[in-house]
Structure 1
Amino acid sequence: MGTCLWTLLFLLHCNEGIHGLRFTKNPSNITVTQGNMARLGCAFEGLSEPEIAWMKDGEKIYSSDQMYITLDAHHWETFHSVKSVQQQDAGKYWCEVEYHGTIISSEPAWVTVEGVPHFVVEPSDVAVFAGEPFNLTCAARGPPDPVEVLWWLGGEQKGDFMASPSVLFVKGVNGSVKFYCEARNTRGISVSRTGTVHIKVRPDSPQGIRVHQASESNVTLTWSAGFTGHSRLSTCTIQMSRGAGRKVKLPDVDLPVPPFQHMFDSLLSHSNYSVRIRCDNEVGSSPFSQWVDFYTPEAAPLAAPKNLTFELTEQQLTLSWAPLEEAELRGRLLAYKVQWSQGGESQDSLLFKENYAHLSGAGRFFNSTFQVSACTAVGCGPWSQPILVMPASATQAQTQRGHIWVGLLFGLLVATMVGLLLTVLLRKRGKETQFGSAFTAPGTEAQVTFTAARSFNRQYPELPECTLDSLGISCDLKAKLQDVLISERLLTLGRMLGKGEFGSVREAFLKTENNSGQKVAVKVLKTDINSTSDIEQCLKEAAYMKDFHHPNVIQLIGVSLHRRAQQRLPVPMVILPFMKHGDLHTFLLMSRLGDEPFTLSVQILIQFMLDIARGMEYLSNKNIIHRDLAARNCMLNENMTVCVADFGLSKKIYSGDYYRQGSVSKLPVKWIALESLADNVYTTQSDVWAFGVTMWEIMTRGQTPYPGVENSEIYEYLIKGERLKQPPDCPVDIYEVMHSCWSPVSKCRPSFQYLIDQLEVQWAKLNPAPEKDAMLYVNLEDDEEQASGPGFDTGTRSSDEPSWGVPWLCAGMEDDEKNWLMVPSGAALAIDGDYRYIIGPHGTDDETRHSDDGQSEDIRDEEEDVIINV
């Protein structure tokens, strides 16, 4: 009765929610045709800002298509949408909210997907014995049902359509053959993957036999399976022999596999071994592999020399001992070490090559103690038993005294044992002591009582008002942000767009004073970051953007303050324009790796570069150095225009032309210029370096710079003269522009205005102007009067002078800077270098005109030869 009552109360509790928390709307069952859109909705009441999680078949759904709508202050509605429903989207869906460790769930709903059949049992590769019969299975289902299956084996149709699931009986094959099945319903026909029937054979020899972690007595042997014969390997046999010349065969080792490894122990040190391996499957054994030799290292001797004796004459002392066996020596003998002491003081050790020692001046060794040890290259072994050097008569007297001492010690030991026995007998008498009976009755326990300490409760102080004054930031920063402060009540937060180290970015709807609104992006600082310095850093970024007015630089809309319960400081939120296509890096990656890849022409990629260069030119004119320019920090709006964004590392230059970072922080190493890596010095020229890396990202459609090079290795890689290689489909002229950004001497890099001019020329080549304007670009590369970027010296040359030069040389360079370019960095004319990335053509003659891809055939062939030699 009691159990039933508790069950009833629990069910009532679940139906009514916890303290008024409940789902007011549950998802509904839907049936949708494959390829169409599906939308599920939930509504929850009782929390000011709940985190409503969507579940599917017991797993949480991580989706960017979830949307929140505020019904009132404590009532929220959320939707989960699937734009193009596929069979894998079918299943059981519901919503969950976690509150103080308790999960509150909505009612579940089922999504049913109608379409062409989908396979639940698809043909997979099989392995059989030659000529033996076997079965193949294929199963597909709708909705809609019924579903029929047709088999194809070796390119021939087997029978007619039959009901799913279907089993095909095959009498046997003598060679590999392909097979697949078709499934049809009223919606259409689906074709399964193609499977292969393999014939089981004996495996090939194991491969890649290696010896790891070799010590003086243990080694670990690993190998990899060769061709398994289309059958699982069951065991492997290891044969081992020892010795350099005439080998000693050791017992075979049979072990189950995988794993393909085995540890041998109890090996002899300083010894040659050879191993070979074969493996077995159900058909038979593979041939043995080739013999692999290995050598165990030396070790310190295992034992001390035995039979240490001495012979004393008037002229000398002779010591002798038995040499060690090879197994005890465990290495190549270097010497025997003899140590001796006299009067309790150790004397200098002596080394001897043989197993004896002659010491002159016998008298000085009276009453001395000697020990001997064997030594190898690794170290010395244990010491032998010491011997005391005495004349023969003294030795006899000492032996007699030794017998007397042995008798005295034996008598003392017997007396001690008798005393201990009497003490134990006396303690067994039960006698009262000041602590009570010495032998208390079993089961009694001492009781301990205590009084609990007084508890108390602290009340939280009243939260400060959500104003700029409550943040504790500087007066100058407050003054800059006062006129862009927006009330939190005007914001409705939506789905999350992304997360970073210091916070997240969420989609939002901003209501204006005339009750209209706009879609915006809100950058929210993490709620667990409570220090004033972190908040001030976030707001400084907003202060920078406040004064920006350029189509290629993201502009601040406003700043809002979000108040949370039991938090000392409000959370600042930076309100920015909503960028439909997100960040440039993700957009580039999606063009290559997305579910629906798309083509980005070279014209579009150059337009992206031009947008970024124009935005950076605007920032440099305002004395702003960005310090974190990369594709991930550039945004794409609905018009496919790129805007420079994320000014978290930016600094304004008020005097001079550089900024030196005073403390260590997390920085994007692969985008940082050489001088910034070396001295933490940042200038507009270091932003130019980062722009060159961003150009490379754009041309590679989002690849990570310097693939295969670790962050810790970047500085050494660059200082040797290495740079990012030319992307496969990058025009030569574009690569020369980005390569000019990576000069090791910062003043030799082009300005952003020069980069804009060069990119506009390249863009115009791909987008030719009307015929009347064609002369604007004729012979532009060969024009000796062409303007160059700041710091560049085109110079003059005769017609007979070779048209090759060092691209990083520029006017105004010091001699030591030229030497740095030519020698330590492995720059131009290096014999083993890659000439494409050190020197490049500045002109061509009529016989070697550039082909359509921007390179002459002669130059291309030469470059391919260079690549092979690198």
Structure 2
Amino acid sequence: MARLVCAVEGLIEPEIVWMKNGEKLYGMDQMYITIDTHHWETYHSVKSVQQQDAGKYWCEVEHHGTVISSEPAWITVEGVPHFTVEPQDIATLQGAPFNLTCEAVGPPEPVQVLWWLAGVQVGDFRPSPSVLLVEGVNDSMKFYCEAKNDRGISVSRTGTVYIKVPPDSPTDIQIDQMSDNVTLMWSPGFTGYSDLSTCTIQMSKSSGKKVKLPELQVTVPPFQHTVGGLRSHSNYSFRICCSNEVGSSPFSTWMDFQTPEAVPSAAPKNLTFHLTEQQLSLSWAALKEEELNGRLLAYKVQWNVGVESQEPLLFKENFAHVSGGARFFNATFQVSACTVVGCGPLSKPVLIMPASAVQAQPARGHMWVGLLFGLLVATILGLLLVVLVHRRSKESQFGSAFKSSGMDSVVSFTAARSFNRQGLELPEHTLDSLGINDDLKMKLQDVLIPERFLTLGHMLGKGEFGSVREAFLKMEDNSVQKVAVKVLKTDITSSSDIEQCLKEAAYMKDFQHPNVIQLIGVSLHGRPHQRLPIPMVILPFMKHGDLHTFLLMSRLGDEPFTISLQTLIQFMLDVARGMEYLGSKNIIHRDLAARNCMLNENMTVCVADFGLSKKIYTGDYYRQGSVSKLPVKWIALESLADNVYTTQSDVWAFGVTMWEIMARGQTPYPGVENSEVYEYLIKGERLKQPPDCPDDIYEIMHSCWSPVPKCRPSFQQLVVQLEGLCTKLSPSATKEQLLYVNLEDDDREPDTGLGATADTPGTYELQWGVPWQCRDLEEKEKDWLMMSSGATLAIGGDYRYIVGPCGSTDRESRQPEDGLSEDMKDDEEDIIINV
């Protein structure tokens, strides 16, 4: 331990700042003492000096814009050399020379460095820092350096020399199609220990036979490229390879895709007719495949008599026979081709005339036909002008709207049936449009509910990832059910966000338990101009909301009310039964709290909110792989330390939930910040017994907070204990004596949990008041339990690194009950710990 002292005189309440190597030094180990009004002293303590504590220290105080500095002091830490530059992994070409660097410092100085390559010593010790030139290697190898001074030898980390090779083929190739543009996305394979520079995309078009398209050279990253100018409703294939400085990877396998359909790009040609008294026959040339841009849905024949448009006719073939030919005399016909997306342009108009009239014309008949056609056109234009002036006709894309005669404005509407050239109405979204994995799609396929069956109501709650809304669901028998809908935020842009939301629904799909909320279904809300819909998880409507709010309202609401102890225990029992069921399904909840438990109309608690849940398929634990926003005050000690989650860590959270219930919704660890929870728990502190909480209930919740996970009760045991409390809850009920294991007396038989016997007449109570019950502990687990109870505070260690018992000393035989000898309390330097 080291302590530095600094004093200043002549100033009132000065702001003294500790400095180290020119930077401000912040910490909890600084103390300020007032000697008198103008005399102040400050201390900076280092509990256990390490190499990084070495440096130059001084104090500064600012007075009227002038900085006053104290005399400096130095902390020098002597020991084996300390590495400032350790060997790093290196990737190089085969046979190419490269440098390796190693640097270590004392004190004491001097420090010398020795190199080891592939297990062989290279040369002799040389002064630090050392740069080793390697002429070149043909294979990968390991290397490290040793640093020596008068105190001993330190060994650096082991580095690896990798030989650069060509990369592997790209993986995880995906296609994102948008009309005639296609975005290709892929992930690089093994890079060959060298950055990838370019990727080559080979494409071909299949139309009966494959046609190779020009290669595309793409600079990476990013590992994606948008290909434009593709023909609609066509089959394409592509494959990708990537290159580094050594060479190119093999090509990936060919990936096939088809571009979406579009409206036809051309009008049918050569429209001809044959008119008789009985029928009109029409024919025209079929569109070519490259003009159709999709699958032919129908040909639309549009015809007019005078200025009036008639009902269009639809035909599957490129010819038509219509009965009643006389009625088509002097009618104008046009034809267009239609796909599922819409209809293409109309052909040139053709005027229908009897064949006899045409054949009776002399050689100069064409001139008369022209005159007749011109007269007809003039007549049509005149009639059209009359209609526009007198009837003020208006055309809309849906039909004809016009103003009738009279003073009042009356609008009538005649619907027109036609194809929308802009595109059809957006189809109902399916799970295939989300880009989620196939397993998740299969799990949710039978619970997908069309959006049109849902009517959303007001918002019930809002969180970080979305909101919960009241809704009404139309059932198959036309009845309406009131439900709650979890809606993801509307600013989602990736399939991964949607997949994370739907995983929660997949967990709930198979749940069948009265104390676990059940999934009704999943729906997808389409958004205009957005490729991805918003997922909505449909759940039963919980009349009384979440348990935390209910408890708060009982204490702080406008009309407070009393909840009986019997009801509070029943709440705990409901939660325990629900968690027991989840455990049987291999589900780790990871976010159990009163806020995530719901109350239905029967006042039954259902465990809900599985956003952080994980299903474990092997072993009995889940290790959190990345930093997430987690509820610190409900997390078990081992989860805070090592990000390991088990059913036992859920038991810890259940104990905190019991505390919430007994405290009527109060926030756990009042007065303790989130950042201080870990240090608070490692000292052996736990949540205090709430007011009006019976001892036997507090003993149950306290048993859930054992520092050793296997010492906590299982949910099956908790259900049995809480059921016993429910049945025995009466004024005459007496609390059974709680038996504890004597963790320090190795000669005594462990408690069987079946009651006291003549062989086990006594019990031993540990220093924290309400001890944790545990059986069959290994020796190192006993040490762990003891260290977490309070000795850690004195030793200043971390329970995660205590892997063996304390070093054997003659003081062990005379330690007091709190686990620390008087000598240990007086002299911390005498403590020996096997680390």
TM-score by length of 2: 0.46
TM-score by length of 1: 0.45
